[in-house]
């Protein structure tokens, strides 16, 4: 410790689990928005990642509330927010936003998009697997042209509805922090926007990594136009996100409040590694430079011509560094905002525990859990589109027969 710290300011109330929570919800929002590029905005280059992005958003959404549940002293009481809702509480309203996004947006869109495949798997499978897929069809086995057109139209409208829902799902996290006026690190009208844009950055980067890893694991060639397009969108998102964060920092300097001195001490001391090194240098500037030089961002050809194999590895490295940077950003906001005293005179310390419900082991487990769920979803609902009925429209009639 240094400076003047009151006893009730020594222990941080929010730890790694609360850092993990906005990180997971950001990945959900970002992955879904990437999926909407193909479905709504007709960006055909990213079509190979559409279903993978949907399943990624679903897997991470299932796990997203678990950090909050683990952090609560009595998680079994959380259902009461649905029975006795408080409309003035942003945290209470999140339960309804989460339920809406899971049940109405993601599950419905996945079902409409996969219904033809579910019918095909039901028709071609045998034994328990056959009836499992029939249960997933909900009895809707009609593959007529009219029915398939309805599936496509319904899925498109659900995606359109899901875009503002994704913004609301993650934007409210930044809204909560930005509404704490007594905390100079959090109190900013740009906080919800910064959270949203960083969510888009992290979601695109995650899908890029998953697409490359799963494609190489299956022994398939990577679709370079798709990868180039993903890297291009990732670069643009980083540019906008970095610009807003710089704007936010300049605004704080311009205000020149009495808190600027303690925030400077915080950045130069406690948060130097996580903010300057991990978030700014490794997580932002390195991917910004690498992607800016190797993607078709400003001209028809990249500024630096590199072999295709090297370009793929640079894209993968940049996406991984982006994930480190976004997680560091969440850490700096949640933990950093609790490291200085309310009197703005002193700094406390935060030591990460390995074991315990709030420890590093629990955080790592909750980070790996959505990847395991995604693996199960991919086994049940392969997103590659390699089935015969996805290759030739004429096969649809053969499946019905």
Residue 306 has, within 13 A of its CA and on its CB side, a CA count of: 18
Residue for token pair 């915080």: 266
pLDDT at position 386 is 74
Q: Where are the alpha helices (DSSP H) in 218-307?
A: 224-255, 260-268, 286-294
What is the pLDDT confidence band of residue 328, given thresholds at 50, 70 and 90?
very high
Quickly count: other Cβ atoms within 10 Å of residue 347's Cβ: 19
* Mean pLDDT over the full length of the chain: 84
Average pLDDT over residues 294-305: 72
Residues 6+ apart with CB under 8 A from 22: 170, 173, 174, 195, 330, 333, 334
Report yes or no: 50 and 211 within 8 Å, Cβ to Cβ.
no
Alpha helices in 40-106 (DSSP H): 50-63, 66-71, 80-83, 90-99
| Angular region, 135: left φ>0, alpha ψ -120 to 50, beta rest | alpha
Beta bridge partners of 134: none
In angstroms, the CA 104 to CA 162 distance is 9
Best CA proximity match to 71, nearest among 23, 14, 26: 14
pLDDT of residue 150: 92
pLDDT of 182 reads: 64
Yes or no: say if 143 and 114 are a contact pair by the CB < 8 Å rule.
no
Which tens digits make up the pLDDT trace of 9-68? 566 778 888 889 889 988 998 999 998 888 888 888 889 999 999 999 999 999 988 888
The token pair at 159 is: 């995606």
Is the pLDDT score of 375 beyond 60? yes
* pLDDT above 70: residue 257: no
How far apart CA 360 and CA 95 sit, in angstroms, is 26
Residue percentage of the chain with pLDDT more than 90: 35
pLDDT tens for each residue of 360-374:
899 999 999 999 999
First to last CA, the chain: 74
Q: How confident is the model at residue 93 (pLDDT cuts 50, 70, 90)?
A: confident
pLDDT of residue 339: 78
Whether residue 310 has pLDDT greater than 50 = yes
Rounded Cα gap, residues 287 and 154, in angstroms: 37
Q: Which pLDDT score is estimated for 397?
A: 47
Residues in a beta bridge with 2: 347
Quote the CA–CA distance of 16 and 331 in Å, as a whole number: 8
Reference 39, options 27, 25, 51; nearest CA is: 51
Q: Specify the pTM.
A: 0.89
**Cβ atoms 189, 56 nearer than 8 A:** no
139 φ/ψ sector (left φ>0, alpha ψ -120 to 50, else beta)? left
Which helix (H) or strand (E) segment holds residue 375: the answer is helix 360-380
- The phi and psi torsions of 340 (rounded to 5 degrees) equal -110, 155
- The answer to which of 69-73, 143-147, 292-296, 391-395 has the lowest mean pLDDT is 391-395
- Segment among 144-158, 199-213, 250-264 with least mean pLDDT: 250-264
pLDDT at position 391: 65
Q: Taking Cα atoms as reference points, which of 169, 213, 217 lies closest to residue 195?
A: 169
Q: How many CB atoms lie within 10 A of CB 191?
A: 22
């Amino acid at each position: 410790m240094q400076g003047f710290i009151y006893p009730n300011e020594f222990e941080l109330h929010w730890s790694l689990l609360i850092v993990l929570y906005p990180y997971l919800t950001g990945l959900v929002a970002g992955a879904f928005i990437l999926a909407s590029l193909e479905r709504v905005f007709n960006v055909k280059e990213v079509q190979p990642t559409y279903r993978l992005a949907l399943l990624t958003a679903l897997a991470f959404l299932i796990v997203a509330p678990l950090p909050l549940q683990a952090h609560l002293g009595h998680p079994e009481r959380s259902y009461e927010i649905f029975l006795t809702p408080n409309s003035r509480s942003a945290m209470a309203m999140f339960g309804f936003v989460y339920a809406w996004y899971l049940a109405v947006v993601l599950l419905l869109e996945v079902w409409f998009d996969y219904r033809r495949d579910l019918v095909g798997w039901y028709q071609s499978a045998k034994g328990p697997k056959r009836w499992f897929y029939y249960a997933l069809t909900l009895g809707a086995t009609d593959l007529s042209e009219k029915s398939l057109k309805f599936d496509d139209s319904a899925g498109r409208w659900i995606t359109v509805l899901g875009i503002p829902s994704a913004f609301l799902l993650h934007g409210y996290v930044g809204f909560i922090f930005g509404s704490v006026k007594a905390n100079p690190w959090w109190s900013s009208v740009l906080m919800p926007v910064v959270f949203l844009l960083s969510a888009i950055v992290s979601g695109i980067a995650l899908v890029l990594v998953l697409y490359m890893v799963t494609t190489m694991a299956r022994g398939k060639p990577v679709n370079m136009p798709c990868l180039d397009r993903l890297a291009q969108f990732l670069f643009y998102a980083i540019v906008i996100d970095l610009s807003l964060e710089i704007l936010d920092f300049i605004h704080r300097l311009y205000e020149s409040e009495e808190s600027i001195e303690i925030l400077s001490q915080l950045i130069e001391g406690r948060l130097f590694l996580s903010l300057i090194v991990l978030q700014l240098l490794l997580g932002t500037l390195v991917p910004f430079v690498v992607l800016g030089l190797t993607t078709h961002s400003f001209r028809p050809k990249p500024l630096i011509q590199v072999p295709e194999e090297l370009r793929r590895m640079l894209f993968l490295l940049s996406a991984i560094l982006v994930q480190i940077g976004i997680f560091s950003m969440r850490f700096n906001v949640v933990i950093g905002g609790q490291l200085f005293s309310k009197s703005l005179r002193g700094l406390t310390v935060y030591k990460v525990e390995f074991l315990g419900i709030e420890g590093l082991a629990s955080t790592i487990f909750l980070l790996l859990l959505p990847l395991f769920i995604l693996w199960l979803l991919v086994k049940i609902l392969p997103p590659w589109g390699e089935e015969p009925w996805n290759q030739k429209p004429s096969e649809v009639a053969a499946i019905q027969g």
